[in-house]
Structure 1
Amino acid sequence: MKKLLLIFAFAISATTFSQIHDPVKWSTSVEKISDTEYELLAIATISGAWHLYSQSVPENGPIPTSFTFEGNSNYLKKGNTKEEEGHTILDPVFEMQIKYFDKKASFKQRIKLKGKKEFNVNAVVEFMVCNDTQCLPPKEVDLVFEIK
């Protein structure tokens, strides 16, 4: 009987700890600004009580959201990636003022085309999410923007 209870306890704990949290889903789109300029949009949809951190966070805080765009002879980046307003609060986990996003976050990057052919812009976003009691390890997600 003790062995059966022990096996049952291990089965429950394995199920509990094996649940993978994936509270952020990323999508991309492209907006044409002019014949030679486009805006790349990366949109994070954040579920539950999780929040995604800004690209600018104080030292000793969480990992900031960052974008790395793969070099390509078809375009030039114009400026840095911009983000929407978000919320700035005294974060209970890090005990400092931090800007974060909940529910949804939009990031925009302008590019200038060097030619007229179709191509993809590949990027990687690295980010960290927390709720009021825990943080998940930083994660990287590949993004693809189709320029038509």
Structure 2
Amino acid sequence: MPLKHLFKAILNWQTDRNSVKRYIKNHTVSFEDKSDLKISAAKAFKGDPSLHNPEDLLLSSLMSCHMMSFLYVCSLHQINVLSYTDSATGTLETDQKGSGRFTEVHLHPVVTIDNPKQIELANSLHQKANKLCFIANSCNFKILHTATCTAG
């Protein structure tokens, strides 16, 4: 029987009474026992460019989940990871009606491990990590990986 986990969030938004022509998109999302997230729309969609937006958070979720899944599979193979960085890009396409969707995300993890003999194995584990990643499994677009692994 599968285990179910419930996640909760609360979104708060209020109108800016001085802005009658368009809605201000800034809002706050709260989670129990965690700091609030101040969020807006992306600059391209008339949001506050100084705040995170849903597209930023989607990329962040994919990168974080992939990293945690990768660290997990590395531990199963006794690979000692010393550092992990990623630089992701996401392609969002919109149509003339204002609808849109992500068509792909490309992760670029750069990993340093302690044993140079395990570099090839470590690089191959990104595919397994992608299959385990909860967020990647919830997406309906391509998630690509260009991984680099070195020993240090």
Q: Return the structure number with greater helix share.
A: 2
Max radius of gyration: which structure? 1
Which TM-score applies when normalising by structure 1? 0.28
Which TM-score applies when normalising by structure 2? 0.27
With a CA cutoff of 8 Å and minimum separation of 6, indicate the structure with the bigger relative contact order: 1
Q: Return the structure number with greater strand share.
A: 1
